[in-house]
Structure 1
Amino acid sequence: MKVSIIGGTGFVGSAICRQLLAAGHQPRLLVRPGREHRIQDPDRCEVVAGEVSDPAALERCLAGTEAVIYLIGILREFPQRGITFDGLQRVGVEDTIAAAKRQGVERFVLMSANGIRADGTPYQRSKFLAEEALKESGLRWTIFRPSVIFGDPEGRMEFCSQLKKDIIDSPVPAPLFYSGLIPRNAGGFELAPVFIDDVAAAFVLALSESRTESQTYSLCGPQRLSWKEILTTIAAAVGKTKLMLPAPAIAVKATASLFDRYAWFPISRDQIEMLMEGNVCTENDSFARLGLVPTPFGIDRLDYLNRPA
């Protein structure tokens, strides 16, 4: 099957491309100019140069393919640079849906995110609206909602590598965020890290399994781990013992309100808010429904954190 991928040079996209090729599919990637060096296997992937905001590039990317996978997502927006949640996570999806219809591409697989809702942060709202647009499109769709994804980033941005860089390697104590004024259960909110190869396997399986059509899958790992447990595991994986101290979320958000417009500041107000909501699946049977077994999070899967940056 020839598959168009929008967002194929990122962390998730590269893993999906690798598994598509292994399964005998032919990926065609829409690649922003200057990002050609990030293509996973340039000799085996078709490449269309262009931006998702360029209608002609979208048309070229989708022409003659049988399915499209949309993966573009950002964790922070910088409107002054034209980088917004709405533009990339809603409008980009809607434009790709329209292009798919014009090109006769009926199969559409979307990467959304666990925990999205209509009344959430701008990130969550844009993902929610993209899902609604796809459901109403008339295309044969599948939606995946991963929790935080871990695995070898191969030089790209990834959850554990980012935490190692910003928190574990920092000389200051690791923050255990808590709500309110009294540090009850600091760092106790839970996440369900999901392994990158398991996420990629779900996407590739969806292309060949008609039972996945008109289905939404929340992809969570098999463990519910607290923020403190995750930081402790990452520190242990790199041979460190990290001092951790309670940190009031309200104070961190106040600081972020002053500086999160700048890329050098490590976290935004919305990221703190979403982090403290937790990120676990209310229903955790998606991998079982897909016939896949998720990989546990642990030191043995974090050896890539010891490689030189």
Structure 2
Amino acid sequence: MKVAIIGGTGFVGLHITRHLLAAGHVPRLLVRSGSDKKIAHAEACEIVHGDVSNLPSLLECVRGCDAVIYLIGILREFPAQGITFEALQYQGVVDTIQAAQDNCVGRFILMSANGIRPDGTAYQRTKYRAEQALKESGLRWTIFRPSVIFGDAEGRMEFCSQLKQDIIDSPLPAPLFHAGLLPFKAGLFELAPVSIKDVADAFVLAVTESRTESQTYTLCGPERLSWKAILSTIAAASGRTKLMVPAPALAIKLAAGLLDRFPWFPISRDQIQMLMEGNVCAENDSFARLGLTPTHFSLDQLEYLTRGN
């Protein structure tokens, strides 16, 4: 099958492209100018140069394909640079749906996110609206909502690499965020890291399995781990120990309110809010429904963090 991938040069796209090729499919990637070096196995892929905001490029990318996978997502927006949740996480999906409809490509697989809701942050709201647009499109859809994704990014940035760079490798103590002024339950909010291999397996399975149509899958790893435990595991995988201290989330949000418009500031107000909400699956049966076994978040799965050190 020929599969159009919108957002195929990022961390998740790298692995999905590779898994599609291994399964005998032909990926066709929409690639922005200057991003050719980010393409995995370019010699085996079809490449369309363009941007998700360019409708002719979208039409060219999906034309003649059997399925479309939409992966574009951002954690922070920078409106002055044209990088917004509205443009990339909602309007891009709407325009790609239209391109699929215009080209009679009936199969559409969307990367969403665990924890989205209509009254959440801008990130959560645009992801939610994109899901609704897809469900109302008349296309044969599948939606995946992963928790935080870990795995070898091969030079790209992912969840654990980012935490290693910003927190573990920093000379400052690691922050154990907590609500309120007193450090009750500091760093005890929970996440369920999911392996990129498992996420890619799920996407590739959905390309051909009709039983995944009209289904939404929340993809969480098998463990619910506290923020503190995750930082400790990343530190251990990096061959380090790390001092950790309570940090009131309110103070960080106030600082972010002043500075998160600058790319060098490590976190935004909305990211703090979503982090403190936690990111675990209320019902963690999606991998069982898919017939897949999720990977544990463990030291041997994080060995990529020491490469090049």
Which TM class, normalised by the smaller chain length?
Answer: over 0.9
Q: Which amino acid aligns with 1:237?
A: A
| In structure 1, distance between residues paired with 2:300 and 2:235 | 13
Q: Measure, in 1, the Cα distance between the counterparts of 2:191 and 2:49.
A: 36
Distance 2:286 2:112 in 1: 14
Residue equivalent to 1:63: 63
SS at structure 1 position matched to 2:42:
coil
Structure 1 residue aligned with 2:27: 27
SS in 1 for 2:24: coil
Q: Distance in 2 between matches of 1:133 and 1:200?
A: 23
CA RMSD in angstroms, aligned pairs only: 0.6
Aligned to 1:247: 247
Residues 97-146 of structure 1: per-residue CA shift (max 9 Å, x gap)? 00000001000000000000000000000000000000000000000000
Matched residue, 2:9: 9
Residue equivalent to 1:259: 259
Say how many residue pairs are matched.
309
1:34-45 aligned at under 5 Å gives the runs 34-45=34-45
- Compute the displacement of 1:305 (Å): 0.5
**Superposed displacement of residue 235, structure 1:** 0.3
What secondary structure sits across from 1:175 in the alignment? strand
Q: What's the counterpart of residue 180 of structure 2?
A: 180
Q: Structure 2, unaligned stretches of length 5 or more? A: none
User: Which amino acid in 2 is paired with 1:105?
Assistant: V
Residues 137-164 of structure 1: per-residue CA shift (max 9 Å, x gap): 0000000000000000111110000000
Whether 1:115 aligns to 2:88 is no
Tell me the CA shift for residue 308 of structure 1. Answer: 2.0
AA partner of residue 179 (structure 2): S
Please name the residue that 2:142 is paired with: 142
Q: Deviations over 1:204-257 (max 9, x none)?
A: 000111000000000000000000000000000011110000000000000011
The equivalent residue for 1:53 is 53
| 1:181-220 matched pairs, under 5 angstroms | 181-220=181-220
1:227 matched to 2:227: yes
Matched, 1:308 2:308: yes
TM-score scaled to structure 1, two decimals? 0.99
TM-score relative to the length of structure 2: 0.99
Amino acid at match of 1:10: G
Q: Secondary structure at the match of 1:218?
A: strand
Aligned position for 2:296: 296
Q: Structure 1: any 5+ residue segments left out of the alignment? A: none
AA matched with 2:205: L
CA distance in 2, matches of 1:300, 1:24: 29
For 1:114, the aligned partner's letter is: N
Q: Distance in 1 between matches of 2:302 and 2:204?
A: 24
C-alpha distance in 2, partners of 1:283/1:152?
27
Sequence identity, in percent?
71
**Residues in 2 aligned to 1:162 and 1:83: alpha-carbon distance in whole angstroms:** 20
Q: Which runs of 4+ in 1 moved over 3 A?
A: none
Deviation at 1:181, TM superposition (A): 1.1
Q: Which residue of 2 aligns with 1:168?
A: 168
Match of 1:132 in 2: 132
Q: Secondary structure at the match of 1:43?
A: helix
